[in-house]
Structure 1
Amino acid sequence: MAISGLNPKALLLFLALLPQFTDPSGSWPAAVQIAALGGLHMLSCAVVYTGVGSGSRAILRTRPSAARAASRFSGIAMTLISLGLVAEQLLRLRLP
């Protein structure tokens, strides 16, 4: 969580989006409101990711064929993404 919290892109995203949901005339200072909204977002992400991880683990442990299919799918997806990135770089080298 510390690494993610120090990510400048994530900080900019929070600073760009969260002020829209604050009330300048509220009883809490804007910085406290933004911190509370950020904490709520982190908590909700933790709950969702924990649920997805637990569900995935349960499914993949009980169904080896699903685990193999997920492994194959992710391998193919990574290969296709890498080929796309290589093709993009080659096209950039060709264009003046």
Structure 2
Amino acid sequence: MINVGFYYKVKEGHEKEFEETFDKVVDYLRKEYPGFKNAILYKNVKEPREYLIYSEWEDLDTFKKFISSYAYKSTVDYGKTIIEGRPTHRVFQQVNT
């Protein structure tokens, strides 16, 4: 299992749009990517235009397949219209001890 954190700052006035788009993307992932497990959207308490999407994936290959897909590229292109600056993401792998 891997977890990916996506960090975004949304342009002012686009917060609701971003949140609604998140719901649509998660629905799509559940239907189209069997290795996608779940995603949760968090809003920064002190900076309400900053968001974290915490996602869970079966494995790194499934995540890589998604980020190389047309659907991901379309989402990124759309995001450029409502995201401020360049978003970042970090991939973490569960450690079994």
TM range, smaller chain: under 0.3
TM-score (norm 2): 0.25
Give the strand-richer structure, 1 or 2. 2
TM-score w.r.t. the length of structure 1 is 0.25
- Greater fraction of residues in helix: 1
Larger Rg: 1
Quick one: higher RCO (CA 8 Å, sep 6+), 1 or 2?
2
